[in-house]
Amino acid sequence: MQRIVSTIRTGDGSHTLAWGDEHYHSLHGAVAESTHVFIKAGLDAAGLKHIDLLEVGLGTGLNLLLTWVRCLEGKVSVDYTALEPHPITAEVLERLRHCEDLAWPGLHGPFLERMSSPSEDWHEAIGGLRFRKLPTRVQEFNETSAFDVIFFDAFAPRHQPEMWALEVFKRMHDALRPCGLLVTYCAKGEVRRTMQSAGFSVERLTGPPGKREMLRARKS
């Protein structure tokens, strides 16, 4: 994470990080993007009372926090598994102020504890959310029919092309249960075709502010 250079306020007032010439979230609005792509098009669209969820690219933990808020509101319960070989330090997370951005300051302590913990075990459930963080690379992840929803939030293909390879999406297809959903902010035609080659049915959806489209894939 040595290339992190600054904390940036985005268009909706929430914060993100710069990593080289890449940003962890849209500069049009970090919370707006994550809510649109991952919560509304993924978590909410699954239509389940309990969801086993996999996130590829935990990053700053914003998707985790937004999911946690849904759980605290009583809308769903979630067992949340995150793959993150390169976790962000507690010092950087403190500067981001995600819990303050979401008006949930009471989550700050448990959020930092979970994000910073080296443990791969499940943390105690709070408010309907149970969480574990694994250092596993997605190319080495071998779960089968274990998840209802996947948040695919890797850096863009131009920065991490290996994350968007056919092998990876075949693993994601295997990891989902029938009718499971994978959502991502990326809408590139090459990515859509790769998902289809892995066995997914793929639809283009309206993107978040500042982006025309996003992708949602479903396992038949």
What's the structural domain count of the chain? 1
Residue matched to tokens 């935990």 = 58
Residue 70 inside a domain? The answer is yes
Q: What SS3 state is found at 179?
A: strand
Q: Which domain holds residue 195?
A: 30-219
Cβ atoms of 153 and 101 within 8 Å: the answer is: no
Cα distance between residue 136 and residue 145, in whole Å: 18
Can you tell me the mean pLDDT for 108-114? 96
Per-residue pLDDT at 21 exceeds 90: no
Residue 25 inside a domain? The answer is no
Per-residue pLDDT at 203 exceeds 90: yes
Residue 13 inside a domain? The answer is no
- Predicted local distance difference test score (pLDDT) of residue 1: 40
Cα distance between residue 194 and residue 185, in whole Å: 15
13 band by pLDDT with thresholds 50, 70 and 90: confident
Backbone angles phi and psi of 218, in degrees to 5: -125, 135
CATH number reported for the structural domain that contains residue 55 in this entry: 3.40.50.150
Candidates 84, 83, 57; CA nearest to 153 is 57
Q: What letter would DSSP give residue 161?
A: G
Per-residue pLDDT at 3 exceeds 60: no
Q: What is the mean pLDDT of the chain?
A: 94
- Predicted local distance difference test score (pLDDT) of residue 22: 76
Can you tell me the mean pLDDT for 173-185? 98
212 band by pLDDT with thresholds 50, 70 and 90: very high
pLDDT single digits (tens) 142-160? 999 999 999 999 999 998 9
Q: What SS3 state is found at 52?
A: strand
pLDDT single digits (tens) 31-45? 999 999 999 999 999
Residue 86 inside a domain? The answer is yes
Residue 164 inside a domain? The answer is yes
